Amino acid sequence: MGDETPRTVNLGAPGPDDPVEVLPPGSVVGAFKITANLAAGGGGRVYAAEHRVLSRRAAVKVLHRHLAVQPEMVERFVREAKAVNRIAHPNIVDIYELGVLDDGRPYYVMELIDGSDLATEIRRRGRVSPHDALTWLTPLCDALHAAHQAGVVHRDLKASNVLIGTRDGRQVIKLHDFGIAKLIDPVAGEAPLTTLGRRLGTPYAMAPEQIRGEAVDHRADIYAMGVLVFQLLTGTYPFVAEDPTELEAMHLTQPPPRPSSRAPVAPALEAVVLRCLAKRAADRFPDVPSLLSAYRTALSDEVGAGPTLGLAIHVEAPLDADTSPEAADLVGDALDRIESLLAAAGYTLPLQLAGALLAVRTIPDVSPSPDVGAALGDADAVLRIAGEDAPRWTVVVHVDRFQLRAGKPFSGPLLQISSWVTGVSPGVTLTQAARGRLAPTG
């Protein structure tokens, strides 16, 4: 990243010859060319871009015109880039370049993550099992701890700021948007950007001390992590109100609701969430590793719990003794891609053979179940990966009970494939158990 600090210029009202707010495809930003307009938020607009020489794909964030005339917003934009580079963690979106457009708007170039975000995933799936949540929380906690170790408090940790993508066939989790991050140990000569009494953050995830405009430290992020874990385990926020003032009052004065009042959550895990949501920072976990360790310990206490309801997808490719080595290689490549697809969708894969696989995930014990409809979408995606040979593949969707051990499928009728993958035809098949929980259409 270059050393030049973006300057603030008087943009004024846009005239007929002024650059437009939205950069059209083909616009040049530093060494990159804009290829698409991705999204806009309160602080700026994000574009997809490509390096003009190396063809490297990236994302470009440009500060809004009306903010680029405010020195504090420009400085905050610059410090976001500096904070990210100060942390330098693989689970934090990297920033490559910082610069200024011809009209004075600052921009930075960052890595592009193909995928969605955790908020989208929660809307799609609803609440998830504690073990599924751990697959997201582990890399997220690693990133957050690295930020705290580097003297950076995120202050806006929420599901929409956690990106979920794939890279080299593996799921990647990336924390981003350090736009209101606080440097606990600022670089010499840098003055703080905010003063006591000014509130920054998202109301539904702000710690009480943030709402009061007091000085915050890393424990404000632990409060926000408690909100996020609550949301993952129950599908809802701990406090909900249409009026932001009322919502803030809840965070300040009301005891946090027990997750078990919204969903089946074990007492040990509930205690972890409630400690994160303590009103006093001193009563929360002292750091992120302590939080994550307590979460894992709570999960290990569930080993003796009863069977849980699960959703399974069994995929089998048309391999036989007459299959050529070339065809077998193509099937293997397709199965590798299917494994990555299902893993990114939250499934674990307890069985992976040369020509078949079994993918399993826990689902809420409700009927009708939106998860069965989502599994049908996953099954269709499997056949799309199979390509021209798809009419010969079999994909079976089933619902039944199974037992977890150490967070992994261990036993139970759901794992007894021979009892439900019988006499099926090529294509997608729903077993009677799965069809019985399918939400009606129309």
pLDDT tens per residue, range 141-186: 999 999 999 888 988 899 999 999 887 777 889 998 877 666 654 4
The answer, yes or no, to whether residue 11 has pLDDT greater than 60, is no
Classify 28-110 by CATH class.
Answer: alpha beta
Give the global pTM.
0.63
CB atoms within 10 A of CB 371: 26
pLDDT tens-digit profile of 176-227? Answer: 887 766 665 444 444 444 443 344 557 888 999 999 988 889 999 999 999 9
| CA nearest to 206, candidates 184, 224, 230 | 224
pLDDT tens digits along 322-339: 778 888 888 889 999 999
pLDDT band at 289 (very low <50, low <70, confident <90, very high): very high
Separation CA 8–CA 120 (nearest Å): 35
In whole angstroms, give the CA distance from residue 265 to residue 280: 24
Say what percent of the chain tops pLDDT 70: 88
- Phi and psi at residue 255, in whole multiples of 5°? -60, 140
The one catalytic residue in 117, 156, 177, 371 is 156
Mean pLDDT of the chain: 85
Residue 387 has phi, psi (to 5 degrees) of 75, -140
Q: Which CATH superfamily is domain 308-436 in?
A: Nucleotide cyclase, GGDEF domain (3.30.70.1230)
User: Which letter, b or e, does each residue of 163-190 get, where b requires 16 or more Cβ atoms within 10 Å of its Cβ?
Assistant: bbbbeeeebbbbbbbbbbbbbeeeeeee
Q: What is the rounded distance in angstroms from the CA atom of residue 239 to the CA atom of residue 26?
A: 44
Residue 37 pLDDT > 60: yes
pLDDT digits (tens, 9 = 90+) for 68-117: 888 888 888 888 888 888 888 899 998 988 999 988 999 999 999 888 89
Work out whether strand 394-405 and strand 427-430 pair parallel, antiparallel, or are unpaired. parallel
Query: Quick one: tokens of 79?
Result: 């410090």
Least confident of 63-67, 75-79, 300-304: 300-304
Closest CA to 172 of 89, 76, 241: 89
pLDDT at residue 299 greater than cutoff 60: yes
Burial (CB < 10 A; 0-12, 13-18, 19+), residue 79, is buried
- CA triple 46-52-58, angle to 5 deg: 30
**Residue 156: active-site member:** yes
Rounded to an integer, the average pLDDT of 372-386 is: 93
DSSP assignment string, 245-275: HHHHHHHHHSPPPPGGGTS---HHHHHHHHH
Q: pLDDT exceeding 90 applies to what percent of the chain?
A: 46
3-state secondary structure of 288: helix
For helices 130-149 and 219-234, angle between their N-to-C axes, nearest 10 degrees = 170
Q: What is the C-alpha separation between 421 and 351, in angstroms, rounded?
A: 14
> The domain 115-300: what is its CATH number?
1.10.510.10
Q: Is 124 exposed, middle or buried (0-12, 13-18, 19+ CB in 10 A)?
A: middle
> Is the pLDDT assigned to residue 414 strictly greater than 80?
yes
pLDDT at 385 over 50: yes
Domain boundaries, the chain: 28-110, 115-300, 308-436
Question: What is the C-alpha separation between 3 and 97, in angstroms, rounded?
Answer: 10
Q: What angle do CA 270, 125, 367 make, to 5 degrees?
A: 90
Concatenating the DSSP letter of every residue in 292-343 gives: HHHHHHHHHTTTTPPPEEEEEEEEE----TT--HHHHHHHHHHHHHHHHHHH
Structure tokens at 80: 């976001």
Neighbours of 139 (CB within 10 A): 19
3-state secondary structure of 100: strand
- pLDDT for the residue 286: 95
Task: Flag whether pLDDT at 9 surpasses 60.
Answer: no
Contact 216, 176 (CB under 8 A): no
Please tell me the predicted confidence (pLDDT) of residue 174: 92
| Predicted local distance difference test score (pLDDT) of residue 364 | 85
**pLDDT of amino acid 78:** 85
Query: Average pLDDT, stretch 272-296?
Result: 95
